[in-house]
């Protein structure tokens, strides 16, 4: 702000003396002067903001960002702005906290992060010429850090809008870093000597009114859109960082379409894309709706770094539609509160065609299977390149879990090459030198994935052949190790030290675990030699009851299956055997896996070991887990629910399984604390670092289990 205008800084956002309110003055008018080197501002009479163009083109730009990657994040933002400009869009909504990255965690409390974020904002400004752009960043103000959306108009900052409702449940910890912005509060932020409007704002840009709902703001009952509608807003922008979960996009579609209908606005939603920071997957959803109709929907799970979805909206039509709504009552007395007005000449719209087609797989009967087949391969690709790993390594046992990991890597390559082309795929992995000479998927796969079957004396021909078939099917480089001598060496050493022979009768668990642990050093060595990422293969059902060997099958730098249950994995593998994702292909070779009963294959073959004999039927296990952990029911309540779900099992049997689950759950929290990072895909996640916290030491539900048995005993007697 120019020095002579300092006295008007207190009037930002409609904070005026009552006398001015009564005379009708209440909008801050910002001219087209340089926002960072000196503005000229004037207060104009409310309601006289100029002519509104009938048609404007809106764009939702999704980005695959990286926390604290200032140069890279800017480059992707600038590329998206250029793409939107080429499509004729005038308004571009970018994802939440796109300048810094959403997953910066406790670095949001580092002063340097705020300095870099503002510098990145400055460097992006020249690229917003002729556009209205929403850019997200953390802002330090009055000893608090706020999650802000900065609206930039034609290369100049118009104001900062604060997120009102912070995501503090599930995998989100926003209240740890940010403060919620109070409703109705407007302030001014000093930036390079100028005072910028900030807070609970809306904007009149060339006569068109814009407001914000920032991600979580749209998920609550008292969403800001209610108030924005009463203030006559025409367009709501929603910059988001909404993590993927099965079926979650249906909820987003509802609040975007219903928001556009109920609020009488056009609504723009732009989400983050890909595996931004390790655990959360973002599907990159983009939506534009108006008057309750979806005008444009972007591709989800894209391997692109930027993707722009645009649509033309008719501002006059949305206004008239709202005017025809008998129940709508504009809040004219408050319409100017928090409003910032900016001159802007809306360019003519050339291409008015809108496309709102969902991918055909999103409306089929296998949406969850399809989502898994796209979300995890995208997450693997981002984890690979962002960690600069040189491919993956999997200890391929011939069982379901390791086969699933191998197939997911293959899908990653197929989908990546399919979307980016062979050269584009290699370019995104330019540091991975062994890939650069490859000219086909068949050449990429042996460099991308190494598998190894590690036989012990208890391994059988069935699993060996199944592993070989799967390695060949996915075209991995396959190794075969025999670890029997290594196991015998440990047995001899420990037997001698203890002064007695180890037997299955007395040392069952130890003899099983040593086999799994001996498999770890060799496969880690392969990963180290290749500079690759070792994938752990334990699933969520096993994690729930600790049915996994620490430093054995849990070994790895990434655990892609730990967020999903065994029953789903088996269903997915059967589907992958016969059908496969739309546009991809099936793997008939999985029949050798799917025909087997899941087994750890750690006891002698004469014992006929299976997972379900060791534990309980996997569908029962998963039902108990959902009731006990997701829904937080006590043992008796769990028994009553699950017994109704599985009436084929008698009460004492079901009670023993419920008891087994609770005892194993409590006993094995320390294992879950040590799992390699996993991907979040639903609200049944057990990851203690992001979703499901439980004490490592506890009473073990002793009283509750006794109560359950007492009730079941009465049932039995009756």
- Report pLDDT digits (tens) over 159-190: 999 999 999 988 999 999 999 999 999 999 99
Degrees (nearest 5) of the Cα angle 153, 155, 158? 40
Pick 356 or 587 by higher pLDDT. Answer: 587
* Distance (Å, whole) CA 305 – CA 274: 9
Measure the CA dihedral 662/666/670/671, to 10°: -10
How would DSSP label each residue in 490-533? HHHHHHHHHTS---HHHHHHHHHHHHHHHHHHHHHHHHHHHTPE
* Distance (Å, whole) CA 474 – CA 445: 7
Any domain includes 356: no
Any domain includes 176: yes
Task: Please report which confidence band the pLDDT of residue 614 belongs to, taking 50, 70 and 90 as the band edges.
Answer: confident
Residue 101 contacts residue 128 (beta carbons within 8 Å): no
Residue 277 contacts residue 294 (beta carbons within 8 Å): no
- Report pLDDT digits (tens) over 224-281: 999 999 999 999 999 999 999 999 999 999 999 999 999 999 999 999 999 999 999 9
Based on the fold, state whether residues 548 and 528 are members of the same structural domain.
yes
Mean pLDDT value of segment 590-597: 90
Task: Please report which confidence band the pLDDT of residue 613 belongs to, taking 50, 70 and 90 as the band edges.
Answer: confident
Kindly report the average pLDDT of the chain as a whole number.
90
Based on the fold, state whether residues 570 and 691 are members of the same structural domain.
no
Based on the fold, state whether residues 472 and 560 are members of the same structural domain.
yes
pLDDT at 59: 98
Based on the fold, state whether residues 123 and 241 are members of the same structural domain.
yes
680: tokens are: 């979040």
pLDDT at 33: 35
Based on the fold, state whether residues 596 and 627 are members of the same structural domain.
no
- Report pLDDT digits (tens) over 450-503: 999 999 988 889 999 999 999 999 999 999 999 999 999 999 999 999 999 999
Residue 568 contacts residue 682 (beta carbons within 8 Å): no
- Report pLDDT digits (tens) over 632-671: 999 999 999 999 999 999 999 999 999 999 999 999 999 9
Q: How many CB atoms lie within 10 A of CB 623?
A: 20
Lay out the sheet containing 477-482: strands in order across: 477-482, 449-455, 392-395, 533-534
Based on the fold, state whether residues 457 and 533 are members of the same structural domain.
yes
Residue 232 contacts residue 76 (beta carbons within 8 Å): no
Based on the fold, state whether residues 568 and 638 are members of the same structural domain.
no
Based on the fold, state whether residues 259 and 284 are members of the same structural domain.
yes
Residue 266 contacts residue 260 (beta carbons within 8 Å): yes
What share of the chain has pLDDT > 70, as a percent?
Answer: 90
Nearest-CA neighbor of 213 among 164, 283, 263, 160? 164
Tell me, rounded to whole angstroms, the distance of Cα 570 from its chain centroid. Answer: 24
Q: Which helix (H) or strand (E) holds 92?
A: strand 91-93
Based on the fold, state whether residues 431 and 328 are members of the same structural domain.
no
> Which phi and psi (to 5°) does residue 584 adopt?
-115, -150
pLDDT at 369: 97
pLDDT at 30: 40
pLDDT at 332: 73
Running DSSP on this structure, what letter comes out for residue 298?
A: P
Distances (CA, A) of 674 to 230, 509, 663: 51, 20, 19
pLDDT at 331: 78
226: tokens are: 């209610």
Q: How far apart are the first and last CA of the chain?
A: 83
* Distance (Å, whole) CA 196 – CA 153: 13
Residue 281 contacts residue 275 (beta carbons within 8 Å): yes
Based on the fold, state whether residues 415 and 539 are members of the same structural domain.
yes
- Report pLDDT digits (tens) over 541-558: 999 999 999 999 899 999
Any domain includes 250: yes
CATH number at residue 427: 3.40.50.620
CATH number at residue 326: 3.60.110.10
How many domains does one find in the chain? 3
* Residue range of the domain that includes 192: 26-43+51-342
The residues near 415 (Cβ < 8 Å, ≥ 6 apart) are 303, 374, 377, 378, 584
Give the domain-ending residue among 594, 610, 626: 610
Instruction: Give this prediction's pTM.
Output: 0.90
Based on the fold, state whether residues 574 and 549 are members of the same structural domain.
yes
Based on the fold, state whether residues 327 and 448 are members of the same structural domain.
no
SS3 state of residue 416: helix
pLDDT at 676: 96
């Amino acid at each position: 702000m120019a020095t002579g205008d300092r006295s008007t800084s207190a009037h930002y956002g409609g904070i005026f003396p009552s006398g001015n309110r009564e005379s009708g003055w209440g909008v801050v008018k910002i001219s087209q002067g340089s926002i960072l080197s000196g503005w000229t501002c004037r207060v104009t009479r409310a309601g006289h903001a100029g002519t509104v163009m009938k048609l404007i083109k809106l764009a939702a730009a999704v980005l695959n960002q990286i926390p604290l990657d200032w140069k890279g994040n800017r480059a992707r933002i600038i590329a998206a702005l250029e793409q939107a400009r080429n499509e004729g869009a005038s308004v571009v909504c970018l994802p939440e906290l796109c300048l810094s990255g959403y997953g910066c965690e406790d670095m949001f409390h580092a002063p340097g992060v705020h300095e870099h974020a503002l510098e990145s904002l400055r460097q992006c400004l020249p690229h917003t010429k002729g556009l209205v752009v929403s850019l997200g960043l953390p802002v330090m103000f009055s000893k608090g850090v706020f999650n802000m959306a900065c609206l930039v108009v034609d290369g100049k900052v118009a104001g900062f809008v604060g997120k009102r409702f912070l995501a503090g449940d599930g995998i989100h910890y926003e209240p740890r870093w940010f403060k919620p912005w109070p409703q109705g509060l407007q302030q001014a932020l000093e930036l390079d000597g100028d005072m910028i409007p900030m807070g609970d704002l809306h904007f009149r840009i060339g006569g068109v009114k814009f407001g914000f709902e920032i991600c979580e703001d749209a998920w609550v009952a008292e969403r800001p859109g209610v108030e924005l509608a009463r203030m006559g807003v025409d367009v709501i922008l929603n910059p988001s960082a909404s993590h993927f979960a099965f079926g979650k996009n249906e909820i987003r579609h509802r609040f975007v379409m219903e928001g556009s209908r109920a609020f009488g606005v056009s609504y723009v939603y732009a989400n983050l894309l890909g595996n931004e920071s390790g655990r959360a997957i973002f599907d990159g959803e983009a939506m534009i709706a108006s008057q309750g109709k979806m005008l444009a929907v972007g591709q989800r799970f894209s391997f692109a770094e930027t993707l722009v979805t645009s649509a033309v909206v008719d501002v006059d039509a949305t206004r008239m539609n709202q005017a025809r709504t008998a129940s709508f009552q504009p809040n004219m007395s408050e319409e100017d509160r928090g409003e910032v007005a900016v001159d802007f000449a809306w360019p003519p719209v050339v291409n008015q065609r809108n496309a709102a087609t969902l991918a055909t797989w999103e409306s089929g009967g296998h949406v969850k299977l399809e989502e898994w087949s796209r979300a995890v391969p995208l997450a693997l690709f981002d984890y690979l390149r962002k960690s600069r790993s040189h491919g993956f390594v999997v200890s391929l046992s011939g069982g379901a879990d390791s086969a699933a990991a191998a197939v997911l890597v293959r899908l990653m390559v197929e989908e990546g090459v399919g979307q980016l082309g062979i050269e584009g795929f290699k370019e995104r992995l330019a540091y991975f030198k062994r890939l650069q000479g490859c000219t086909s998927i068949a050449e990429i796969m042996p460099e991308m994935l190494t598998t190894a079957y590690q036989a012990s004396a208890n391994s059988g021909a069935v699993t060996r052949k199944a592993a070989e078939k799967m390695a060949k099917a996915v075209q991995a480089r396959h190794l075969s190790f025999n670890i029997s001598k290594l196991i015998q060496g440990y047995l001899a050493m420990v037997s001698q030290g203890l002064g007695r022979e180890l037997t299955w009768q007395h040392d069952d668990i130890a003899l099983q675990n040593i086999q799994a642990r001996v498999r770890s050093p060799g496969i880690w060595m392969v990963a180290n030699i290749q500079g690759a990422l070792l994938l752990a293969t334990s699933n969520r059902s096993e994690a729930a009851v600790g049915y996994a060997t620490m430093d054995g099958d849990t070994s790895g730098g990434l655990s892609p299956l730990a967020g999903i249950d065994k029953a789903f994995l088996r269903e997915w593998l059967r589907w992958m055997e016969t059908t496969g994702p739309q546009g991809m292909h099936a793997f008939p070779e999985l029949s050798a896996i799917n025909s087997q009963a899941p087994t750890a294959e750690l006891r002698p073959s004469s014992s006929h070991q299976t997972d379900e004999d060791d534990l309980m039927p996997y569908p029962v296990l998963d039902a108990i887990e959902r009731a006990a952990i997701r829904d937080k029911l006590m043992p008796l309540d769990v028994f009553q629910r699950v017994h109704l779900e599985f009436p084929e099992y008698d009460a004492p049997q079901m009670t023993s399984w419920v008891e087994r689950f609770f005892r194993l759950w409590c006993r094995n929290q320390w294992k879950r604390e040590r799992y390699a990072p996993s991907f979040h895909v639903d609200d049944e996640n057990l990851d203690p670092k992001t979703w499901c916290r439980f004490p490592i030491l506890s009473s073990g539900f002793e009283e509750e289990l006794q109560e359950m048995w007492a009730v079941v005993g009465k049932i039995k007697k009756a």
